[in-house]
Amino acid sequence: MLIDLGNFTPGLSLAGGLIIGAAAAVLVLFNGRIAGISGILGGLLGLPRNDMAWRVAFLVGLVGAPVLASLLGKPATPDIQASWGEILVAGFLVGLGTRYASGCTSGHGVCGIARGSIRSLVATMTFMAAGFLTVLVQRHMIGG
């Protein structure tokens, strides 16, 4: 296994994880809501609309933070080695999995496990196993 030490940033990754955890804790403590992106976005699309402000603020922050970071420093330029068709199919499959799992990785992995939810633990282990299997097949069996 090769590690790209030029892009290996454990300190920044730890800081990002701590910020995500703190944000999830603040949201549940002060708003009683789970920081699951699929539920936050889904709540904007459904009724009632009495709790729209915090959902919009959360999503604006989610999109705005990397934009602000790129304005302040080196812009993030991910190297995605997939076609638009593959990206669209992958996005559809993630959305489908989110519906079947009754939540997304952020809701189950960050918030559900922290609350001691067995269902979230199983869902997160399933997400991770599917990701590991996908990398194994794509990189080592197909020859990507």
Please indicate, yes or no, if residue 93 is contained in any of the structural domains.
Answer: yes
Average pLDDT in the 101-125 region? Answer: 88
**Can you give the length of the chain in residues?**
144
**Amino acid occupying residue 96:** L
Single-letter amino acid code for the residue at 38: S
Residue type for position 100 = Y
Mean of pLDDT over the chain:
85
Residue range 35-39: average pLDDT? 83
User: Considering its fold, how many domains does the chain have in total?
Assistant: 1
Q: What does the pLDDT look like over 65-75, one tens digit per residue? A: 888 888 888 76
The CA-atom distances, in angstroms, between 102 and each of 21, 51, 57, 65, 119 are: 20, 20, 23, 27, 10
Per-residue model confidence (pLDDT) at position 144: 57
pLDDT at 78 over 80: no
C-alpha distance across the termini of the chain, in Å:
15
> Whole-structure pTM over 0.85, yes or no?
no
Q: What is the mean pLDDT of residues 97-101?
A: 83
Please determine, for residue 121, whether its predicted confidence score (pLDDT) is greater than 90.
Answer: yes
**CA–CA gap between residue 110 and residue 25 (Å, rounded):** 10
Within a domain: 5: no
Distance CA 34, CA 47 (A): 18
* Alpha-carbon distances, residue 128 vs 6, 54, 101, 108 (angstroms): 25, 29, 13, 12
Domain that holds residue 113: 10-141
Assess if residue 2 is contained within a domain.
no
Per DSSP, 101 falls in state T
For residue 4, is it within any domain?
no
Does any domain span residue 126?
Answer: yes
Q: How far apart are CA 135 and CA 129, in angstroms?
A: 10
Residue 29 lies in a domain: yes
Please state the rounded mean pLDDT for residues 71-98: 83
Mean per-residue pLDDT for 91-105? 84
Least confident stretch, 75-84, 87-96, 122-131, 134-143: 75-84
With respect to residue 17, please indicate whether it lies within any of the assigned structural domains: yes
Q: Are 103 and 36 in contact (CB under 8 A)?
A: yes
What pLDDT, on a 0 to 100 scale, did the predictor assign at position 3?
Answer: 72
The answer on pLDDT for 85 being more than 90 is: yes
Using the predicted structure, report yes or no on whether residue 130 has a pLDDT greater than 60.
yes
Q: Band of the pLDDT at 1, cuts 50, 70, 90?
A: low
Name the one residue in this structure whose structure tokens are 């910020």: 19
